Amino acid sequence: MRPLSTKLAAIAPSATIEITEKARKMQAAGTDVISLSIGEPDFPTPAHITEACIDALRRGETHYAPGKGIPELLKAIAEKIEQENKIPCTPDQVIVGCGAKDSIYEACEAVLSPGDETIILDPSWVSYEPCVQIAGGVPVHHPLHQDTFQVDDSLLEKVTKKTRMIIVNTPSNPSGAILNHESLQLVADICQDHDLIVLSDEIYEKLIYGKIHTSIGAFPGMEDRTITVNGFSKAYAMTGWRLGYAVASKEIIGNMNKVQQHTISHPTTFAMYGGVAALKGPQECIEEMRTEFERRRAFVLKSMDEMGLSYAPADGAFYAYVKVDGDDAEVANRWLEKGHVAVTHGSAFNHPGWVRLSYAASMDRLQEAMRRISAVL
Ligand SMILES: Cc1ncc(COP(=O)(O)O)c(C=O)c1O
């Protein structure tokens, strides 16, 4: 038989999913593995959101919906983006997708022509590179500053005639770092000087500890050049709902809609009513989860200090990103096999020498995990 897609042959499977699978297999075989390897809030979806979805099902909202999403949700997103992120936005500049991941992929398809380069700032979330590649683009990696995890002037060296897009992610998965105003200004200046688009992944925007979140789409001159991606998975513990969105110029949204029309059609109709309830309903649920993450974060970072491990600025998301000696994949494997704690090695984020621990686990499990890691060390 002739080989299957050469395009996909070049794409690595998701490292985070692979490690979690390995941990699951060990668990199935009877080993008490503590999984700190996946990025998923360990809280239930708030009840009022689930109820809104159930109501929608009972009302019979079980048929096709408008392609870019139900009007109520497009409006709720546009209002949120204007009020909170200070980005001018009308509902026709919004498209709802099956998770932020889907929106990121559609954005790559919408912007990139074959061979167009996209700059990815490392350490980077595992799916940016494959999304660019599947869309026919060429990923170009660029390291953030190794101590501050901020952007510096060296970014300009990566810009060529073929560069079309830069992806920024703040707060960052895996590092937890938040890009400061200067970093975002540098990116904005480069985008304007070189006619580039920025894809800004702000999915962890609500999970911040003592810092503030800034959206690059709100910078002067960036309205038409920014695709702001966000979603419901992390802020509202809705990972399984598969609901996310993008906000951009009508032209970009039009292109994303072409991809959507011919692939997913639209996200699940009744799930979108849950999305409306999330945005329009009480927001205390976010603060309750954030506060609990903050408590766990303090515990994990204190444990790292006690073990003499250094870590990236853990200002956002729910990850501690820790520097390790030697090969990070070997370290992660040792922690899993000897300590029965699953973490993700930094090479998965194009950043060897580090490992990522998710503190989206109960305090009891985190305490036990820290005890085990300390014993292995
Ligand atoms: C940085 C980042 N962007 C996007 C996503 C995708 O989120 P969603 O569940 O909305 O597809 C994730 C999920 O892990 C993430 O960490």
Per-residue pLDDT band at 179 (split at 50, 70, 90): very high
155 plus 261 within the same structural domain: yes
Q: Give domain status of residue 189, yes or no.
A: yes
Q: Give domain status of residue 339, yes or no.
A: yes
16 plus 107 within the same structural domain: no
Predicted confidence at residue 114, as pLDDT, reads 96
Side-by-side strand order, sheet with 94-97: 94-97, 244-247, 226-231, 197-201, 163-169, 117-122, 138-143
Predicted confidence at residue 39, as pLDDT, reads 85
Q: Can you tell me the distance from the alpha carbon of 350 to that of 340, in angstroms, rounded to the nearest whole number?
A: 24
Q: Give domain status of residue 118, yes or no.
A: yes
Kindly give the distance from the C-alpha atom of residue 377 to the centroid of ligand 1, in angstroms, as a whole number. 31
Whose C-alpha lies nearest to ligand 1, atom 13?
Answer: 39
Q: Give domain status of residue 306, yes or no.
A: yes
| 22 residue type, one letter | K
295 plus 336 within the same structural domain: yes
Q: Give domain status of residue 229, yes or no.
A: yes
User: In the listed set 228, 260, 280, which residue is the last one of a domain according to the structure?
Assistant: 280
Q: Can you tell me the distance from the alpha carbon of 122 to that of 149, in angstroms, rounded to the nearest whole number?
A: 9
Q: Give domain status of residue 55, yes or no.
A: no
Kindly give the distance from the C-alpha atom of residue 175 to the centroid of ligand 1, in angstroms, as a whole number. 14
- The pocket around ligand 1, CB under 6 angstroms, is made up of 39, 99-101, 125, 169, 173, 201, 203, 231, 233, 239, 244
Ligand 1 atom with the shortest distance to the CA of 173: 1
Strands (DSSP E) found in 190-269: 197-201, 226-231, 244-247
User: In the listed set 280, 301, 320, which residue is the last one of a domain according to the structure?
Assistant: 280
Predicted confidence at residue 13, as pLDDT, reads 74
> Over the Cα atoms of the chain, what is R_g?
20
Ligand 1 atom with the shortest distance to the CA of 317: 16
Per-residue pLDDT band at 10 (split at 50, 70, 90): confident
249 plus 343 within the same structural domain: no
The answer, yes or no, to whether residue 15 has pLDDT greater than 80, is no
Per-residue pLDDT band at 38 (split at 50, 70, 90): confident
Predicted confidence at residue 125, as pLDDT, reads 96
| 377 residue type, one letter | L
Task: Give the total number of structural domains in the chain.
Answer: 2
- Which residues, in sequence order, are CB contacts of 233 under 8 Å at separation 6+? 40, 41, 99, 100, 203, 239, 241, 243, 244
What residue numbers bound the domain in which 351 lies? 6-45+284-376
Among residues 373, 337, 358, 294, the alpha carbon closest in space to that of 35 is found at 358
User: In the listed set 229, 248, 280, which residue is the last one of a domain according to the structure?
Assistant: 280
Kindly give the distance from the C-alpha atom of residue 231 to the centroid of ligand 1, in angstroms, as a whole number. 8
119 plus 212 within the same structural domain: yes
Kindly give the distance from the C-alpha atom of residue 203 to the centroid of ligand 1, in angstroms, as a whole number. 6
Q: Can you tell me the distance from the alpha carbon of 216 to that of 315, in angstroms, rounded to the nearest whole number?
A: 18
Per-residue pLDDT band at 231 (split at 50, 70, 90): very high
User: What CATH number should be reported for the domain holding residue 247?
Assistant: 3.40.640.10
Q: Give domain status of residue 54, yes or no.
A: no
346 plus 248 within the same structural domain: no
298 plus 250 within the same structural domain: no
11 plus 117 within the same structural domain: no
Mind listing the pLDDT tens digit for each residue in 83-117?
999 999 999 999 999 999 999 999 999 999 999 99
Tell me how many degrees the CA angle 211-277-60 measures, rounded to the nearest 5. 155
Q: Can you tell me the distance from the alpha carbon of 53 to that of 275, in angstroms, rounded to the nearest whole number?
A: 8
123 plus 206 within the same structural domain: yes
User: What CATH number should be reported for the domain holding residue 349?
Assistant: 3.90.1150.10
Mind listing the pLDDT tens digit for each residue in 290-338?
999 999 999 999 999 999 999 999 999 999 999 999 999 999 999 999 9
210 plus 111 within the same structural domain: yes
Q: State the average pLDDT over residues 10-24.
A: 77
Predicted confidence at residue 76, as pLDDT, reads 98
Cβ-based burial of 154 (10 A; exposed 0-12, middle 13-18, buried ≥19): exposed
Among residues 142, 140, 123, 124, the alpha carbon closest in space to that of 132 is found at 140
328 plus 207 within the same structural domain: no
Q: Give domain status of residue 52, yes or no.
A: no
> Which run of H or E residues covers position 344?
strand 344-345
Tell me how many degrees the CA angle 17-239-371 measures, rounded to the nearest 5. 60
Ligand 1 atom with the shortest distance to the CA of 101: 11
200 plus 347 within the same structural domain: no
Three-state DSSP state, 332? helix
